Chains A and B, each alone.
Chain A
Amino acid sequence: MSKENEINLTDASGDKYKYGFVTDIEADTIPCGLNADIIRMISAKKGEPEWLCEWRLKAFEFWQTMKEPSWAKLDYEKIDYQSLSYYSAPKQKVAPKSLEEVDKDLLETYEKLGIPLKEQEVLAGVVAVDAVFDSVSVATTYRAKLAEQGVIFCSISEAVKEHPELVKKYLGSVVPYTDNFYACLNSAVFTDGSFVYIPKGVKCPMELSTYFRINAKNTGQFERTLIIADDDSYVSYLEGCTAPQRDENQLHAAIVEIVVLNNAEVKYSTVQNWYPGDAEGKGGVYNFVTKRAACRGENSKISWTQVETGSAVTWKYPSCVLQGNNSSGEFYSVAITNNKQQADTGTKMIHIGKNTTSKIISKGISAGFSNQTYRGLVKVSPSADNARNYTQCDSLLIGTTCGSHTVPYIENRNKTAQLEHEATTSKISDEQLFYCMSRGIGEEEAVSLIVNGFCKEVMQHLPMEFAIEAAKLINISLEGSVG
Chain B
Amino acid sequence: MTAPLLEIEDLYAGVDGKEIIKGFNLTINAGEIHAIMGPNGAGKSTLSNVLCGKPGYYVTSGNVRFKGRDLLKLSPEERACEGLFLSMQYPVEIPGVPITSFLKHAVNAIRSYKGEPELDTMEFIKMVKAEGKKLGLDNEMIKRAVNVGFSGGEKKRLETLQMSVLKPSLAILDEADSGLDIDALRVVAEGVNALHNENNALLVITHYQRLLNHIVPDFVHVYADGKIVKTGDKTLALELEEKGYAGFVKEK
The reply to whether B106 and A441 contact each other, CB–CB distance below 8 Å, is yes
Provide the residues of chain B in CB contact with A452, threshold 8 Å: 96-97
The reply to whether B77 and A435 contact each other, CB–CB distance below 8 Å, is no
| A-side interface mostly | helix
The reply to whether A456 and B77 contact each other, CB–CB distance below 8 Å, is no
* Count of CB-CB pairs between chains A and B under 8 Å: 80
Q: What's the Cα separation between A436 and B101 when bound, in Å?
A: 12
Whole-angstrom distance from the CB of B51 to the nearest CB of chain A? 10
Interface hits, A441-461 → B, CB 8 Å: 441-443, 445, 449-450, 452-457
Q: What's the Cα separation between A456 and B148 when bound, in Å?
A: 14
The reply to whether A435 and B91 contact each other, CB–CB distance below 8 Å, is yes
Whole-angstrom distance from the CB of B21 to the nearest CB of chain A? 18
**A72: CB under 8 A from chain B?**
no
Q: A430-B56, A434-B54, A435-B88 are in contact. Are A441 and B109 (CB under 8 A)?
A: yes
Q: What are 14 residue pairs bridging A and B, where the CB atoms are less than 8 Å apart in the complex?
A: A429-B92, A430-B55, A432-B94, A436-B94, A438-B86, A439-B85, A439-B166, A441-B77, A441-B105, A441-B106, A443-B77, A449-B94, A452-B96, A453-B94
The reply to whether A453 and B95 contact each other, CB–CB distance below 8 Å, is yes
The reply to whether B96 and A438 contact each other, CB–CB distance below 8 Å, is no
With beta carbons under 8 angstroms apart, the residue of B88, B94, B106 that contacts A440 is: B106
The reply to whether A435 and B92 contact each other, CB–CB distance below 8 Å, is yes
**B162: CB under 8 A from chain A?**
yes
**A68: CB under 8 A from chain B?**
no
Whole-angstrom distance from the CB of A333 to the nearest CB of chain B? 15
Q: What's the Cα separation between A90 and B101 when bound, in Å?
A: 45
Provide the residues of chain B in CB contact with A15, threshold 8 Å: none
Closest Cβ neighbor of B77 among chain A residues: A437
Provide the residues of chain B in CB contact with A453, threshold 8 Å: 94-97, 145
The reply to whether B55 and A434 contact each other, CB–CB distance below 8 Å, is yes
The reply to whether A457 and B80 contact each other, CB–CB distance below 8 Å, is no
Provide the residues of chain B in CB contact with A441, threshold 8 Å: 77, 105-106, 109
Q: A439-B162, A439-B166 are in contact. Are A450 and B77 (CB under 8 A)?
A: no
Whole-angstrom distance from the CB of A2 to the nearest CB of chain B? 16
Interface residues of A (CB under 8 A from B): 429-432, 434-443, 445, 449-450, 452-457
The reply to whether B105 and A449 contact each other, CB–CB distance below 8 Å, is yes
Whole-angstrom distance from the CB of A430 to the nearest CB of chain B? 6
Whole-angstrom distance from the CB of B172 to the nearest CB of chain A? 10
Proximity string of chain B (81-121) to chain A, C-beta cutoff 8 Å, 1 when within and 0 when not: 10001101001111111000111011101100100000000
Closest 9 A/B residue pairs (Cβ): A453-B96, A453-B97, A440-B80, A456-B96, A439-B106, A437-B76, A440-B109, A440-B110, A431-B92
Q: What's the Cα separation between A136 and B193 when bound, in Å?
A: 68
Provide the residues of chain B in CB contact with A445, threshold 8 Å: 105, 109
Q: What's the Cα separation between A91 and B201 when bound, in Å?
A: 71
Q: What's the Cα separation between A430 and B92 when bound, in Å?
A: 10
Whole-angstrom distance from the CB of B15 to the nearest CB of chain A? 12
Provide the residues of chain A in CB contact with B80, threshold 8 Å: 437-440
Q: A437-B80, A438-B52, A439-B166 are in contact. Are A457 and B75 (CB under 8 A)?
A: no
Provide the residues of chain B in CB contact with A442, threshold 8 Å: 77, 109
With beta carbons under 8 angstroms apart, the residue of B75, B102, B110 that contacts A449 is: B102
The reply to whether B96 and A454 contact each other, CB–CB distance below 8 Å, is yes
Whole-angstrom distance from the CB of A131 to the nearest CB of chain B? 33
The reply to whether A437 and B75 contact each other, CB–CB distance below 8 Å, is yes
Provide the residues of chain A in CB contact with B102, threshold 8 Å: 436, 439, 449
The reply to whether A440 and B92 contact each other, CB–CB distance below 8 Å, is no
Q: What's the Cα separation between A475 and B203 when bound, in Å?
A: 36
Proximity string of chain B (152-177) to chain A, C-beta cutoff 8 Å, 1 when within and 0 when not: 00000000001000100000000000
Q: What's the Cα separation between A441 and B52 when bound, in Å?
A: 13
Q: What's the Cα separation between A434 and B93 when bound, in Å?
A: 12
Q: What's the Cα separation between A429 and B95 when bound, in Å?
A: 12
Q: What's the Cα separation between A445 and B103 when bound, in Å?
A: 13
With beta carbons under 8 angstroms apart, the residue of B77, B88, B96 that contacts A457 is: B96
Provide the residues of chain A in CB contact with B75, threshold 8 Å: 437
Closest Cβ neighbor of B97 among chain A residues: A453
Provide the residues of chain A in CB contact with B86, threshold 8 Å: 438
Whole-angstrom distance from the CB of B45 to the nearest CB of chain A? 13
Q: What's the Cα separation between A443 and B103 when bound, in Å?
A: 15
Provide the residues of chain A in CB contact with B81, threshold 8 Å: 440
Closest Cβ neighbor of A456 among chain B residues: B96
Provide the residues of chain A in CB contact with B93, threshold 8 Å: 432
The reply to whether B56 and A449 contact each other, CB–CB distance below 8 Å, is no
Q: What's the Cα separation between A442 and B95 when bound, in Å?
A: 18
Most buried by A among B81, B93, B95, B113: B95
With beta carbons under 8 angstroms apart, the residue of A434, A440, A450 that contacts B166 is: A440
Q: What's the Cα separation between A172 and B105 when bound, in Å?
A: 48
Provide the residues of chain B in CB contact with A430, threshold 8 Å: 55-56
Q: What's the Cα separation between A440 and B169 when bound, in Å?
A: 14
Whole-angstrom distance from the CB of A331 to the nearest CB of chain B? 19
Other than the given A438-B76, A453-B145, 7 more pairs (CB < 8 A) read: A429-B92, A432-B92, A435-B92, A440-B81, A440-B109, A449-B102, A456-B97
Closest Cβ neighbor of B52 among chain A residues: A438
Most buried by B among A432, A434, A455, A456: A434
The reply to whether B97 and A440 contact each other, CB–CB distance below 8 Å, is no
Q: What's the Cα separation between A391 and B112 when bound, in Å?
A: 41
Q: What's the Cα separation between A431 and B54 when bound, in Å?
A: 9
With beta carbons under 8 angstroms apart, the residue of A431, A434, A450 that contacts B97 is: A450
Whole-angstrom distance from the CB of A209 to the nearest CB of chain B? 27
Whole-angstrom distance from the CB of B97 to the nearest CB of chain A? 4
Provide the residues of chain A in CB contact with B145, threshold 8 Å: 453
Most buried by A among B80, B96, B145: B96
Whole-angstrom distance from the CB of A223 to the nearest CB of chain B? 33
Q: What's the Cα separation between A201 and B137 when bound, in Å?
A: 47
Q: What's the Cα separation between A395 and B91 when bound, in Å?
A: 23
Proximity string of chain B (39-55) to chain A, C-beta cutoff 8 Å, 1 when within and 0 when not: 00000000000001111
The reply to whether B96 and A455 contact each other, CB–CB distance below 8 Å, is yes
Whole-angstrom distance from the CB of A72 to the nearest CB of chain B? 29
Whole-angstrom distance from the CB of B231 to the nearest CB of chain A? 27
Q: What's the Cα separation between A432 and B107 when bound, in Å?
A: 18
Closest Cβ neighbor of A434 among chain B residues: B54
Closest Cβ neighbor of B96 among chain A residues: A453
Closest Cβ neighbor of A459 among chain B residues: B96
Q: What's the Cα separation between A288 and B75 when bound, in Å?
A: 44
Closest Cβ neighbor of B112 among chain A residues: A440
Q: What's the Cα separation between A438 and B102 when bound, in Å?
A: 12
Whole-angstrom distance from the CB of B128 to the nearest CB of chain A? 14
